[in-house]
Homo-oligomer: A and B are copies of this chain.
Amino acid sequence: MCNIKPKIAIVGVGLIGGSLGLAMKKRRLAAEITGIGRNKKRLQKAKTAGAIDVLSTEFSDAAEADIVILSGPVDVIPYAARKIKPYLKPSCIVTDTGSTKAVIVRKLENLFPGKFVGSHPLAGSEKSGVRFASPDLFEDATIILTPTEKTGAATLKKTRKFWTDLGGNVILLKPQEHDRFTADISHLPHLLAVGLVKFVLEMPYRKKLKKMIAGGFLDTTRIAAGTPEVWSGIFLTNKKEILRALNGMIRELEKLGQAIGHNPARLKRILRIVRSWRQRI
């Protein structure tokens, strides 16, 4: 492998895409970064922020890229992949930053045989847009790559290097494992936050409740402010695992209710175990 810096194209320069640009610039890892998107104003913001060198609303401007990163909502990624495919040079490798992997990987490894591997950086927040982007977003962040038997060895190697160069800690999972684990650890917490806000919103005395909101509620529901389009895409592309997790959680809550109603000793035991584990995270 030569040591010439790669040319990069980032499709979708929001929080994640913008942070990727800033992170590569800070570490001087790219020869040139082209930001591609539909919204010129947003691209201009990314350029002003120093996240990209060149902006374009045309997929054809990815023609010289050595690495293409498809960022943005999970339901937009396969669309962008189909649109960009005709323009890429044969050596170009492709990854994405989508929050669900099974659907995306299945589609994209058919589009880019051997040249694609899925990525999911566990970074980001309820905020969105390039104005919240940070060059250190991936520093010490867990980055999940989801290679399959169809992934080319060089593609995996380059993509892994891409993320470790940005400070990320790469772990490998199967796409289905990824979706199962994120359903438990990310999508379910999000649903609980959404459900809790909705529960409170529907109370006839919600105005009084609002006055009483304190730290616990704020912490628990922070993620419910996430972008609706992003999250509906996540829920709908990981339906099966999310419904499994949601049903498991409902059973867990029913058991907690049982303990509160009839078994104080069990309740105390649960609280002790949970606290001890939570403190060690």
Residues of chain A at the chain B interface (Cβ within 8 Å): 122-123, 125, 141-142, 144, 171, 173, 177, 180-182, 184-186, 188-203, 205, 208-229, 231-232, 235-236, 239, 242-243, 245-250, 252-254, 256-257, 260-261, 264, 267-268, 270-275, 277-279, 281
Give the complex CA separation of A231 and B144 in angstroms.
36
From the candidates B189, B196, B217, name the one contacting A216 in the complex (CB within 8 A).
B189
Q: Is the interface of A mostly helix, strand, loop or mixed?
A: helix
Instruction: Verify B223–A219 contact, CB threshold 8 A.
Output: yes
Number of copies: 2
Give the complex CA separation of A200 and B201 in angstroms.
27
Contacts of A227 in B (CB 8 A): 275
Contacts of A216 in B (CB 8 A): 186, 189-190, 222-223
Q: List 11 A-B contacts (CB under 8 A).
A: A142-B214, A181-B209, A181-B212, A184-B203, A196-B249, A199-B249, A221-B278, A222-B278, A232-B268, A236-B260, A246-B257
Give the complex CA separation of A221 and B177 in angstroms.
23
Contacts of A254 in B (CB 8 A): 250
CB distance from A183 to the nearest CB of B (A): 10
From the candidates B180, B202, B274, name the one contacting A224 in the complex (CB within 8 A).
B274
Contacts of A184 in B (CB 8 A): 199-200, 203, 209
Instruction: Verify A185–B209 contact, CB threshold 8 A.
Output: yes
Q: A216-B223, A257-B247 are in contact. Are A232 and B267 (CB under 8 A)?
A: yes
